[in-house]
């Protein structure tokens, strides 16, 4: 699943559109496809099927986990709902989240219910885009609400140092584009208000460019 997340997020065709602006749309599409190297074509082919492939992998795993692995099965169910949410299928994600929350309530798995649904979670939640923060970076703060459909609202971002305000704006744009697993209460998705979270900007090259005279 991590590989599918990476392909969905990072694979973009790099096409040279020179001399093709007057061609028909069908011809341009053929020409653009031919201009992709074999590696790019393979990645794009995977990307086109990534959403369905990821959902199928998780669905098959859930079906095969069996009643003897309830926690593992529930984690896969959560991963499936997160996958739908991250890929923009909010209706399907909400159905899966609600069904899973209801299942956890019915089976008395209150610890997992609290861990997964007590507050909104930035997606993906599997560490695929995380790295060791180490030391340094730029400290940023954010205050926002997260709607029942998992989007940041009433967003404010700030930097500890005045000279880093530009990075606070980058965080603002990033959080607006982020999909969240929403908070659930009594089995229903609800808006979470007044969240305050800390972030650290770690792109050393971007920081260096920003701070260059």
Q: Is 198 exposed, middle or buried (0-12, 13-18, 19+ CB in 10 A)?
A: exposed
Is there a single domain that holds both residue 56 and residue 21? no
Distance CA 55, CA 53 (A): 5
Q: Is residue 76 part of a domain?
A: yes
Q: Is residue 123 part of a domain?
A: no
Is there a single domain that holds both residue 60 and residue 90? yes
Is there a single domain that holds both residue 54 and residue 97? yes
Instruction: Mark which of 69, 89, 118 sits at the end of a domain.
Output: 118
List Cβ neighbours of 45 (8 Å cut-off, separation of 6 or more).
none
For the cut 90, the answer to whether the pLDDT of residue 210 exceeds it is: no
Number of domains in the chain: 3
Per-residue pLDDT tens over the stretch 103-136: 999 999 999 999 999 999 999 998 877 766 566 7
Share of the chain above pLDDT 90, in %: 47
Per-residue pLDDT tens over the stretch 161-192: 888 889 999 999 999 999 999 999 998 999 99
Is there a single domain that holds both residue 63 and residue 77? yes
List Cβ neighbours of 205 (8 Å cut-off, separation of 6 or more).
none
Q: Is residue 127 part of a domain?
A: no
Q: Is residue 151 part of a domain?
A: yes
Is there a single domain that holds both residue 39 and residue 54? no
Q: Is residue 88 part of a domain?
A: yes
End-to-end CA distance of the chain: 42
108 against 38, higher pLDDT: 108
66 against 71, higher pLDDT: 71
Query: So what's the pLDDT on residue 110?
Result: 93
Instruction: Give the structural domain span for 159.
Output: 138-211
Structure tokens at 95: 């159905």
Q: Is residue 133 part of a domain?
A: no
Query: So what's the pLDDT on residue 6?
Result: 76
Is there a single domain that holds both residue 142 and residue 183? yes
Confidence of residue 31 (pLDDT cuts 50, 70, 90): low
Specify the range with the lowest mean pLDDT, choosing from 12-16, 45-49, 71-75, 80-84. 12-16
Confidence of residue 19 (pLDDT cuts 50, 70, 90): very low
Q: Is residue 91 part of a domain?
A: yes
For the cut 70, the answer to whether the pLDDT of residue 68 exceeds it is: no
| Arithmetic mean of pLDDT, 26-41 | 58
Is there a single domain that holds both residue 7 and residue 38? yes
Is there a single domain that holds both residue 142 and residue 206? yes
Distance CA 208, CA 198 (A): 22
Is there a single domain that holds both residue 111 and residue 55? yes
**How many CB atoms are located within 10 Å of the residue 120 CB?**
25
Confidence of residue 18 (pLDDT cuts 50, 70, 90): very low
Per DSSP, helices labelled H in the chain are 2-10, 25-35, 38-48, 50-65, 70-86, 90-106, 110-117, 165-177, 204-211
| Arithmetic mean of pLDDT, 45-73 | 80
Identify the CATH number of the domain in which residue 181 sits. 3.30.2420
Distance CA 146, CA 170 (A): 18
Query: So what's the pLDDT on residue 3?
Result: 73
Is there a single domain that holds both residue 200 and residue 143? yes
Is there a single domain that holds both residue 44 and residue 58? no
Instruction: Mark which of 87, 118, 149 sits at the end of a domain.
Output: 118
Query: So what's the pLDDT on residue 17?
Result: 35
Per-residue pLDDT tens over the stretch 127-162: 877 766 566 778 899 999 999 999 999 999 999 888
Instruction: Mark which of 118, 146, 174 sits at the end of a domain.
Output: 118
Structure tokens at 19: 């001399």
Does pTM top 0.85 for this prediction?
no
Is there a single domain that holds both residue 57 and residue 102? yes
């Amino acid at each position: 699943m991590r590989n599918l997340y990476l392909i969905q997020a990072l694979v973009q065709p790099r096409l040279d559109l020179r001399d093709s602006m007057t061609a028909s749309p069908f011809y341009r599409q053929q020409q653009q496809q031919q201009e992709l190297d074999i590696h790019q074509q393979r990645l794009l082919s995977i990307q086109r099927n990534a959403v369905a492939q990821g959902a199928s992998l998780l669905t098959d795993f859930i079906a095969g986990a069996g009643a003897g692995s309830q926690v593992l099965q529930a984690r896969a169910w959560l991963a499936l709902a997160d996958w739908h949410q991250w890929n923009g299928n909010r209706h399907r994600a909400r159905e899966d989240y609600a069904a899973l929350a209801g299942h956890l309530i019915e089976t008395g798995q209150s610890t997992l219910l609290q861990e997964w649904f007590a507050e909104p979670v930035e997606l993906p939640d599997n560490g695929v885009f995380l790295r060791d923060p180490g030391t340094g970076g730029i400290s940023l703060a954010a205050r926002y609400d997260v709607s029942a459909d998992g989007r940041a609202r009433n967003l404010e971002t700030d930097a500890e140092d005045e000279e880093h305000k530009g990075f606070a704006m980058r965080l603002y744009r990033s959080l607006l584009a982020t999909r969240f697993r929403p908070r659930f209460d009594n089995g229903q998705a609800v808006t979470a208000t007044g969240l305050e979270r800390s972030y650290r900007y770690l792109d050393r090259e971007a920081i260096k460019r920003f701070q260059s005279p």
